[in-house]
Structure 1
């Protein structure tokens, strides 16, 4: 088992994101997970990401607040404990349209060729 305390989480910058603070909860450490990493993102009102895509899938889990996910012009609002999978190469945009901070977990596999 690998335990990492919240107080030990380090911030990270995600490309094409705005109005967000991300903390890496697990991953990119020698004793951590070998296949994926877990981020904790806090999006301010109006914050978001994209539109863009990645060559690997990712999972979003909303913990608090709400997040609008836009794919192919279709909007889906995720609320607390709702989750979604964004497929590899699927173009998505996310926007916090509420007046509350949206807190989300993000689970992402390591990019090809990257080892912890």
Structure 2
């Protein structure tokens, strides 16, 4: 299963950034490709993408470490992120593991490109918050 790691620096204090990222109401906005995210219970939700049926998933929050961990119950997708202070802003480090094998064929976006897009999506939504 391929694993990818990325990191971005954004303006904003780490506490504010982490609060935004850990708010379940923001999951749809910061989850690339998500058509809908429905909370089921504390730390549990249903994730739907436009091309697939809803998948049961979890979200674990460690506020003291400013760390989130998530994954689908079927083991097809998991990851974590951490927010750390860096100068006058915050660094967000993300690691994603997926079951899908990404082909490098022409016209097919690589997993690295998708991760970069996801990090830019985080930056955009946090700066608007």
TM-score (ref. length: structure 2):
0.29
TM-score (ref. length: structure 1):
0.31
Structure with the higher fraction of residues in strand conformation: 1
Structure with the higher fraction of residues in helix conformation: 2
